[in-house]
């Protein structure tokens, strides 16, 4: 139902395109997205007691063989699907006043995107996972290149499409290998038969390919190059979805597959695999933060901050404990809302002033008080300012890291939040307040590009609908402040279910209704977490001010900084060439690196 | 059980990737992507292949229970081909537009954010 409905509405909209009024299409699409959200929330509530398994055409497993195709609904998957629905709804509301040239195709594509994401979250079948993954990807390519009259959008969509297709093939090959080994596609059954033997070469290769393929979608270093290109050029409502949920769904894919298939394979349950994920996550978080800080094109800046935050989520999930999963899930909610709000604000700037370059926009947005407030508040939220949900998630990730003996995760998280939050606040300070010294207009600057405004008329004012969508998203994470205890408890219960492979298998294969988990959720906000949130936010403000007023610093200090950091930044810039060939070389190297990591982790080599 | 199809699949994958990396023309690049994808068709089909007397899984003229190839992988391959066709069509459409807007189809000169 949450998958079929949007597909049906999308098909109807395309069929009715010639006779359909614009606002009718808007309204239908929004209602459909809302319906999906409500259904998913309902599913989430129903599945808190026990995992729901739905067999299509009533083909339950006979004996040890699962022949039918199933949806397996647990609270975390359904919750993620509901969150997708929420963001799609907001994006559609925002698109109401957005493109003038928008046609019903846009709505249809958005709804198909939603259907694919919901299916991806709910499916219990490996091949269906791949099909929804590809459907999501193809629609995303089309949405990225939606503004066909724009040069950069096309090239960005091209990079996106080629890289992600190869990621998709990698996933498919991994699935094919597993099918060859186990003769099954149902995730529970595959997991059962894999756990009978210790990990050998084939299983490790399959794991590598699956992880790498999903990580391409999640934009983990070194697969992240497509993201900055695609996000910077895609239409704003689409960016909200990409950053808010799509890349995180890549992570969901990796860890769903890990927890249902590989968890109990002897050799792959150890701490060494943990280390592979944590190293990747830390690299992503740091590199994303540094690149984010060196941007001046606001959308691109936000794209790099998404990369950094995905790295933080990988850190949480990579601990391979249910506490880590819970922290990441919470962080995902907070980050998705905040990042969505920031993208919407950037889109409004583009709408109103025709640019998203922070240098070009210097001080030109002083009039837009509400927009500026939403932007700044979201920037603080990004850094983890305490009433926001983000700090809770971070605190739980830190606890998970400490529980597995990786205390240094705290510093990586702090570094990434300070730099990304600082970059956003710096942009806000320049654009909305005109803080800092007037920048020189160096036209040949590397990141300056021309982006065509997405709207043709009505640029005199900011439509209320669009502004309210942005404000709503920026305030949504505050809901978590109402009852942080209840929220963390619910999420941790969901995470425990997500990580409980035996219960999953019993529910799917035997139709057994698992007894209510005797599980005590122990996570709650602590003073330390709150303190760290404040420290990160203060650090972000300090970094922003420091870089705004860098010119007033004493000259020797400035020179020392520039000699220290310039070569690094230039090196990084050169690496981000945006040439497809380079992207693929990095991708192959990343797959090889993950493969080596997995081989070492499984100690297949003597 | 022969390893030949698996070797060919791996070779197709690698050679396709090499083509993408060194490509100077978008159409060439898209064809290389299809080459990479065809390796997945081959892999899937060879996984479903049994020893030689096996035939298509249609039991109207042969007794049920006689050896047959695995029909599931055929279904998977078909789905895969559909996905491939979609992606190729979309990419070719993008290429057409790129040519129209920028007058070039060389990936080397067309990075979205030259840095």
pLDDT at A171: 93
Q: CA B12 to CA B39: how far, in whole Å?
A: 5
Binned at pLDDT 50, 70 and 90, residue A445 comes out as very low
Mean pLDDT (chain A) is 81
Cβ contact A131:A40 at 8 Å: no
Q: How far is B65 from chain A (nearest CA, A)?
A: 18
pTM, two decimal places: 0.89
Cβ contact A438:A432 at 8 Å: no
Please write the tens of the pLDDT for every residue from B48-107. 876 666 677 777 777 777 777 788 888 899 999 998 999 999 999 888 888 888 777 777
Q: Is B47 within 8 Å of A176 when comparing Cβ atoms?
A: yes
What are the two backbone dihedrals, phi and then psi, of residue B98, each rounded to the nearest 5 degrees? -60, -45
Sort out which chain A residues have CB atoms less than 8 A from B40's CB and list them: 169, 172-173, 176
Angle at which helix A247-257 crosses helix A298-318, to 10 degrees, equals 20
Q: How far is A192 from chain B (nearest CA, A)?
A: 20
Q: Give the A:B interface size as CB pairs under 8 Å.
A: 129
pLDDT at B38: 93
Chain B residue nearest residue A576, CA to CA: B115
Q: Does position B31 have pLDDT exceeding 80, yes or no?
A: yes
Select the more confidently predicted residue: A294 or A437.
Answer: A294
Assigned token pair, A101: 């040239």
Chain B residue nearest residue A143, CA to CA: B90
- Would the CA dihedral through B83, B86, B88, B94 be positive or negative? negative
Q: CA A467 to CA A465: how far, in whole Å?
A: 6
pLDDT at B111: 64
Q: How far is A565 from chain B (nearest CA, A)?
A: 17
Least Cα distance to A91 among A213, A246, A229, A205 occurs for A246
Q: How far is A371 from chain B (nearest CA, A)?
A: 27
Sort out which chain B residues have CB atoms less than 8 A from A138's CB and list them: 83, 86-87, 90
- Would the CA dihedral through A342, A348, A351, A357 be positive or negative? negative
Q: How far is A235 from chain B (nearest CA, A)?
A: 15
Q: Does position B112 have pLDDT exceeding 90, yes or no?
A: no
Question: Nearest by CB to B94, which of A149, A158, A233?
Answer: A158
Q: CA A308 to CA A270: how far, in whole Å?
A: 26
- Give CATH for domain B4-52+68-102: 1.10.287.3510
Q: Is B113 within 8 Å of A579 when comparing Cβ atoms?
A: no
Give the residue from B77, B79, B111 with the most A CB atoms within 10 Å of its CB, the best one to mutate: B111
Query: What mean pLDDT is predicted for residues A59-74?
Result: 80
pLDDT at A516: 57
Q: Is A156 within 8 Å of B112 when comparing Cβ atoms?
A: yes
Q: How far is A173 from chain B (nearest CA, A)?
A: 6
Pinpoint the alpha helices (H) of A319-388.
322-353, 369-383
- Interface pTM, i.e. ipTM: 0.91
Binned at pLDDT 50, 70 and 90, residue B113 comes out as low
Question: Nearest by CB to A162, which of B20, B76, B110?
Answer: B20
Query: What mean pLDDT is predicted for residues A64-75?
Result: 82
Sort out which chain A residues have CB atoms less than 8 A from B17's CB and list them: 166, 584, 588
Cβ contact A326:A413 at 8 Å: no
pLDDT at A461: 65
Question: Nearest by CB to B110, which of A155, A232, A584?
Answer: A155
pLDDT at A133: 93
Question: Nearest by CB to A173, which of B43, B73, B108?
Answer: B43
Q: CA A212 to CA B64: how far, in whole Å?
A: 41
Q: Does position A460 have pLDDT exceeding 90, yes or no?
A: no
Give the residue from A109, A186, A228, A580 with the most B CB atoms within 10 Å of its CB, the best one to mutate: A580
Chain A residue nearest residue B96, CA to CA: A154
Least Cα distance to A200 among A256, A267, A275, A126 occurs for A267
**Locate tokens 């595959």: which residue?**
A190
Q: CA A510 to CA A508: how far, in whole Å?
A: 6
ω before A271 within 30° of 0 (cis)? no
Angle at which helix A4-15 crosses helix A22-47, to 10 degrees, equals 170
Question: Nearest by CB to B29, which of A162, A229, A588?
Answer: A162
Q: How many angstroms from the chain centroid is the CA of residue A341?
A: 14
Q: CA A4 to CA A118: how far, in whole Å?
A: 10
Q: Is B113 within 8 Å of A161 when comparing Cβ atoms?
A: no
CA distances from A142 to A147, A599, B8, B92 (A): 9, 37, 32, 12
Q: How far is A563 from chain B (nearest CA, A)?
A: 20
Binned at pLDDT 50, 70 and 90, residue A604 comes out as low
Domain boundaries of chain B, sorted by first residue: 4-52+68-102
pLDDT at B11: 93
Q: Is B17 within 8 Å of A138 when comparing Cβ atoms?
A: no
Chain A residue nearest residue B101, CA to CA: A151
Q: Is A141 within 8 Å of B90 when comparing Cβ atoms?
A: yes
Q: Is B94 within 8 Å of A161 when comparing Cβ atoms?
A: yes
Please write the tens of the pLDDT for every residue from A165-183. 999 999 999 999 999 888 8
Percentage of chain A with pLDDT > 90? 11
């Amino acid at each position: 139902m949450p998958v079929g409905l949007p597909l049906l509405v999308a098909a109807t909209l395309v069929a009715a395109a010639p006779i359909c009024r614009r606002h009718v299409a808007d309204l239908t699409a929004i209602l459909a997205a809302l319906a999906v959200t409500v259904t998913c929330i309902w599913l989430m509530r129903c599945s808190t007691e026990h995992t729901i398994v739905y067999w299509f055409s009533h083909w339950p497993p006979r004996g040890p063989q699962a022949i039918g195709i199933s949806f397996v609904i647990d609270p975390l998957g359904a919750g993620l699907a509901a969150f997708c629905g929420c963001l799609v709804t907001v994006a559609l509301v925002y698109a109401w006043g957005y493109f003038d040239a928008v046609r019903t195709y846009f709505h249809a594509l958005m709804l198909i995107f939603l259907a694919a994401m919901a299916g991806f979250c709910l499916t219990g079948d490996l091949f269906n996972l791949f099909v929804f993954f590809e459907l999501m990807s193809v629609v995303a390519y089309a949405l990225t290149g939606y503004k066909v009259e724009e040069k950069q959008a096309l090239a960005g969509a091209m990079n996106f499409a080629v890289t992600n297709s190869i990621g998709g093939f990698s996933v498919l090959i991994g699935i094919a290998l597993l099918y060859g080994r186990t003769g099954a596609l149902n995730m529970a059954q595959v997991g059962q038969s894999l756990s009978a033997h210790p990990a050998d070469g084939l299983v490790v290769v399959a794991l590598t390919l699956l992880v790498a393929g999903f990580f391409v979608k999640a934009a983990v270093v070194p697969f992240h190059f497509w993201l900055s290109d695609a996000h910077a050029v895609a239409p704003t409502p689409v960016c909200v979805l990409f950053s808010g949920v799509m890349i995180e769904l890549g992570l969901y894919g990796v860890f769903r597959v890990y927890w249902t298939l590989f968890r109990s394979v002897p050799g792959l349950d150890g701490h060494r695999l943990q280390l592979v994920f944590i190293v990747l996550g830390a690299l992503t978080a740091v590199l994303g933060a540094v690149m984010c800080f060196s941007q001046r094109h606001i959308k691109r800046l936000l794209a790099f901050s998404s990369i950094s935050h995905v790295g933080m989520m990988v850190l949480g999930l990579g601990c391979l404990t249910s506490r880590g999963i819970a922290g990441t899930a919470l962080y995902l909610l907070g980050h998705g809302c905040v990042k969505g709000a920031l993208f919407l604000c950037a889109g409004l700037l583009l709408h109103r002033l025709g640019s998203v370059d922070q240098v070009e926009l210097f001080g030109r947005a002083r009039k837009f008080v509400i927009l500026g407030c939403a932007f700044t508040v979201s920037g603080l939220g990004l850094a983890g300012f305490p009433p926001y949900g983000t700090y809770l998630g971070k605190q739980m990730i830190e606890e998970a890291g400490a529980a597995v003996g990786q205390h240094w995760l705290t510093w990586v998280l702090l570094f990434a939040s300070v730099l990304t939050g600082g970059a956003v606040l710096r942009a806000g300070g320049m654009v909305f307040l005109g803080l800092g010294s007037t920048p020189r207009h160096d036209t040949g600057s590397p990141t300056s590009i021309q982006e065509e405004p997405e709207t043709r008329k009505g640029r005199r004012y900011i439509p209320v609908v669009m502004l309210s969508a942005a404000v709503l998203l920026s305030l949504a994470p505050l809901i978590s402040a109402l009852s942080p205890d209840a929220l963390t408890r619910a999420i941790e219960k969901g995470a425990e279910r997500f990580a409980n492979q035996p219960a999953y298998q019993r529910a799917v294969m035997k139709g057994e209704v698992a007894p209510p988990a005797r599980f005590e959720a122990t996570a709650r906000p602590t003073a330390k977490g709150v303190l760290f949130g404040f420290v990160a936010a203060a650090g972000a403000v300090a970094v922003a001010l420091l870089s705004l007023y860098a010119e007033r610093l004493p000259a020797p200090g400035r020179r020392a900084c520039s000699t220290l950091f310039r070569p690094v930044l230039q090196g990084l810039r050169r690496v981000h060439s945006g040439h497809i060939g380079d992207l693929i070389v990095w991708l192959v190297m990343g797959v090889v690196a993950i493969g080596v990591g997995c081989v070492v982790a499984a100690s297949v080599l003597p | 059980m022969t390893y030949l199809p698996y070797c060919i699949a791996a070779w197709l994958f690698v050679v396709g990737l090499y083509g993408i990396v060194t490509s100077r023309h978008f159409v060439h690049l898209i064809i290389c992507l299809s080459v990479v994808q065809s390796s997945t068709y081959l892999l899937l089909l060879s996984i479903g292949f049994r020893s030689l007397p096996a035939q298509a899984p249609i039991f109207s003229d042969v007794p049920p229970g006689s050896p047959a190839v695995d029909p599931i992988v055929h279904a998977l391959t078909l789905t895969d081909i559909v996905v491939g066709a979609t992606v190729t069509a979309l990419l070719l459409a993008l290429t057409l537009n790129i040519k129209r807007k920028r007058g070039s189809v060389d990936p080397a000169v067309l990075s979205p954010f030259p840095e």
